[in-house]
Amino acid sequence: MSYTSTINIPQFQQDLINWFEKEQRILPWRENKDPYRVWVSEIMLQQTKVDTVIPYFQHFMKQFPDLEALAEAEEQQVLKAWEGLGYYSRARNLQTAVKEVVSEYRAQVPETPKELGELKGVGPYTKGAILSIAYNKPEPAVDGNVMRVLSRILRIEEDIAKAKTRKTFETAVYQLISKENPSAFNQGLMELGALVCTPKKPSCLLCPVQQHCLAFQAGVEETLPVKVKKTKQSTKHYVAFIIEDETGRCVLEQRPNNGLLAQMWQFPMVDTTTIDEQHLEAYIQEKFQTKVLQTTEKEPVKHVFSHLIWYLTVKHIKIKGTIRLPARMKLLTKKEVEQYPLPVSHQNIYRQL
């Protein structure tokens, strides 16, 4: 027996779509169904809240109004426009994929699952969202939000932290989705998850699909979805240095080309396990061949990534005379620093200057 066999599918579709058409929020990416806009919004919305995304999306669309504009932009410009949104590989992958669409598909976002799914950074969710929302194709777009909603409606008790569980939900969506209006159906599921069927305390009494919901009938909506916690986040401790010369310029360093926050800029940082905290000044003098005048302690900064937590001790170091800059470092005025893409933790350090 499949999970959807007890559902009155046409009635469910109608209840969900009617509600969505009446109650949907006005959001800038819903102004039209341009696949490029849908694409950018879906990438920004991964791991990031709607309210945070709105100003970024509007600014991004002004700066890069179409595929060609984004394809031609400097990568650092794109990262700068993404600054503060986090998960910067999303921006880099988006630009790589957009370049491919411009060169290989005459600047038309492909509308077949195969071509679209082969583009960099376009996973099964984004692919389904673009195909259904922009091209009105009955394809599933299953993310954590949709899994939560459907785990409750269909009372699916499989662990959503496991990658293979997504298939269960995609199969269910293929069975449930409206063939006439897949765009409103998928967006309705997403919107229901955002506004009604929320992670904590879902508003079941106001829910447009309550009569279909097996978890509600059994009173178990708050125990779903099942999500087995992964191992704890690891932690890293660093000292971050604001190294400032007599003219007020500071040293910025570009991160490695690969890995976490690749190619973003930051104040130089050292892992505390590799340095003797008693001799920080000597370390700076030697590494930068300069003279330290004064060291003061600033507010520490904590940053939580999905898998990792950074604890940064911040030292403000004033130097005198010349400085020798190691590779990937620059000496910049405060105004110039603002032109470089900094991760949020280092924007917080910059604000202390």
Residues with a catalytic annotation lie at 42
Torsion, Cα 171 176 181 187, to 10 degrees, reads: -70
Q: How many residues in the shown chain lie near ligand SF4 by CB under 6 A?
A: 15
* Cβ burial 291-315 (10 Å sphere, 16+ → b, else e): ebeeeeebeebebebeeeebebbbb
Of 8-16, 118-126, 168-176, 209-217, which segment contacts ligand SF4 by CB under 6 A? 209-217
CA distance 214 to 154: 6
Other CB atoms within 10 A of residue 179 CB: 10
Site for ligand SF4 in 137-156 (CB under 6 A): 149, 152-153
Beta bridge partners of 320: 291
Q: Which pairs with CB-CB distance under 8 Å and at least 24 residues apart come from 192-195?
A: 192/16, 192/19, 192/20, 192/149, 193/145, 193/146, 193/148, 193/149, 194/25, 194/50, 194/145, 195/23, 195/25
Residue 220 Cβ, how far from ligand SF4 at the closest point, in Å? 9
Q: Which stretch binds ligand SF4 (CB under 6 A): 128-136, 166-174, 181-189, 208-216?
A: 208-216
The answer to whether 7 contacts ligand SF4 (rule: CB under 6 A) is no
- In angstroms, the CA 156 to CA 133 distance is 25
Q: Which of 212-220, 245-253, 284-292, 320-328 is the region at the interface with ligand SF4 (rule: CB under 6 A)?
A: 212-220
Number of alpha helices (DSSP H) and beta strands (DSSP E) in the chain:
15, 7
Residue 134 or 149 having the CB closest to ligand SF4: 149
- The answer to whether the CB of 207 falls within 8 A of the CB of 198 is no
Any idea which residue has 């050292």 for tokens? 270
| Residue placing its CB nearer to ligand SF4 in the complex, 98 or 142 | 142
Choose, by CB under 6 A, the member of 215, 242, 243, 342 that binds ligand SF4.
215
Stretch that binds ligand SF4, among 106-114, 166-174, 206-214, 285-293 (CB under 6 A): 206-214
Contacting residue, 122, 209, 240, 243, with ligand SF4 by CB under 6 A: 209
Would you say 65 or 199 has its CB closer to ligand SF4?
199
- Can residue 225 be called a binding residue for ligand SF4 (CB under 6 A)? no
Judged by CB, which is closer to ligand SF4: 147, or 197?
197
Chain residues that interact with ligand SF4, rule: CB under 6 A: 149, 152-153, 196-197, 202-204, 207, 209-210, 213, 215-216, 221
